[in-house]
Amino acid sequence: MLPLYDAILVPDDRDAVAPADMAVPEEARDRVTFTGPVMARERVELLARDTARFRLGVEGDRLAVYVSAGGGGDPCVERRLLETMDVLGSDTGIHLVIGAGPLYRGRVVHGPRMTWLAGAGVAELMPGLDVAISAAGYNTFFELMHAGIPSVFLPQEKVADEQRRRAERAVSAGAAVILDGLDASSLRAAIGRFRDPEERRRASAAASALVPRNNARAMAAELLRLVLPPSEIEAAEEGVTDELLAASVELGTGIDRLFEIGRLLTLRKANPRQAPDAVIPEADPASVSRHAAAIARATASHGIPMPQAMRIINTIVKKIALGGAEARARAVLGLLGDFAAFDDWAGADSLMKVFVVERDLAAPEFAADVGTFLGRLHARGDDLYGGIACLCAAQDAGAGDLSDNRDLLRRASARLAGERG
């Protein structure tokens, strides 16, 4: 069946797979790509150690020992978990984190110095762990090594999974030990080895070096090459940066929101009906991601709810016809800061809609002019709806001439000064 596939992707390193294990027909071999290990999380998406330990309930300097049951569907899982808890549960220097897995249907045990995790999604919590006791299934093995967790592996016999060979790679690297059973004295000795902070440090460094990077983005790119032009793949590879992923985790927002901010910063035409010739310079995807992350952080610092944030960013960008992504980002950041003094984001969106598309001033210059007007408005103690009324009155006084934002702002500022007098 392999020749029928357009691509054959192997989520491991080429030198880690024995040629005898790769039975690929000659006519399909040129479609085989080794991407390297693929995990659910990048390192920048993992929680800080203190945060992870807090969420896991690990107190003080107790040794956090992760006991993994993989997916939880193996018939021996319950026995292994309970035996491990019997051996280590009475040790007051240990906090057990039980990863039962989403398929686990056995007995659930709770007790002091114990955290029971029933579902999936443990990867982001791994920086809070000190040692792991686990089988050597693909996902858990690579997540542990990528996170730098010294491990005690108990390889399981599987029809299509060479767990012992995988575990031996970690042992050879100095990142793990292998046990062939849950003998109490052997398990205590294995855990005892990693009680030494220096030994843990060495094993952790060895684990991280064994799996230095997550190749999920490389795998995604290979899949997308089947359906998208190379230029789009290259832009995505450059734009989906560690900084972007870190911002998504830090802010607790979906990465799609950050993509949408980046898209707004790179719209080819600010407003096709009103500014048909306004084409922005080509943007570097990595810099666009950096600007998008900065804007997302600014919206969080100003306490703007994300739906409102997206509306005001969209409105600001659509009023700008000149400048590239960096200029637009500077304008957005400046105006968000100016509007923050009013804490009325619906009003901010309404006020920006009063302006026409700016086709003469550069984005930061236009934003600075609006910011000056907002500063005068705030100094008077007026709200944004007072500013909207002032702008509309200035428009009426100008006999309906809406083509010049700078003149509109000048006339509106003069009205504010006159009212003050």
Q: What DSSP character marks residue 332?
A: H
> Do 78 and 8 belong to one domain?
no
Domain-located, residue 68: yes
Domain residues for the domain of 384 are: 238-420
Q: What is the pLDDT of residue 166?
A: 92
Q: What is the pLDDT of residue 399?
A: 55
Q: What residues contact 385, with CB distance under 8 A and at least 6 apart?
A: 347, 350
Range with top average pLDDT, 120-134, 208-222, 248-262, 388-402: 208-222
Kind of pairing between the strands at 131-134 and 114-117 = unpaired
Nearest to 352 by CA among 330, 333, 367: 367
> Do 361 and 264 belong to one domain?
yes
> Do 141 and 188 belong to one domain?
yes
**Of 121 and 394, which is predicted with more confidence?**
394
358 bridge partner residues: 320
Q: CA-based Rg of the chain, rounded to a whole angstrom? A: 29
Residue pair 361/327 in contact (Cβ under 8 Å)? The answer is no
> Do 172 and 75 belong to one domain?
yes
| Torsion angle, alpha carbons of 12, 14, 18, 20, to 10 | 100
Nearest to 284 by CA among 313, 250, 251, 325: 325
Distance CA 411, CA 399 (A): 12
CATH number (domain holding residue 179): 3.40.50.2000
Q: Quick one: pLDDT band at residue 134, thresholds 50, 70, 90?
A: very high
> Do 24 and 51 belong to one domain?
no
Residue 126 to residues 13, 20, 232: CA-CA distances in angstroms? 23, 34, 34
Token pair belonging to 193: 């080895």
Q: Residue written as tokens 């409102």?
A: 308
Domain-located, residue 221: no
Model pTM score:
0.83
Token pair belonging to 168: 């031996």
Ramachandran sector of residue 401 (left: φ over 0; alpha: ψ -120 to 50; beta: rest): beta
Number of domains observed in the structure of the chain: 3
Q: What is the pLDDT of residue 73?
A: 72
Could you read off the pLDDT of 49-96 as tens digits, one per residue? Answer: 999 999 999 999 999 999 997 777 777 888 889 999 999 999 999 999
Residue pair 388/354 in contact (Cβ under 8 Å)? The answer is yes
> Do 51 and 112 belong to one domain?
yes
Domain-located, residue 215: no
The number of angstroms, rounded, from the C-alpha of 394 to the middle of its chain's C-alpha atoms is 46
Sign of CA dihedral 130, 96, 214, 146: positive
> Do 30 and 135 belong to one domain?
no
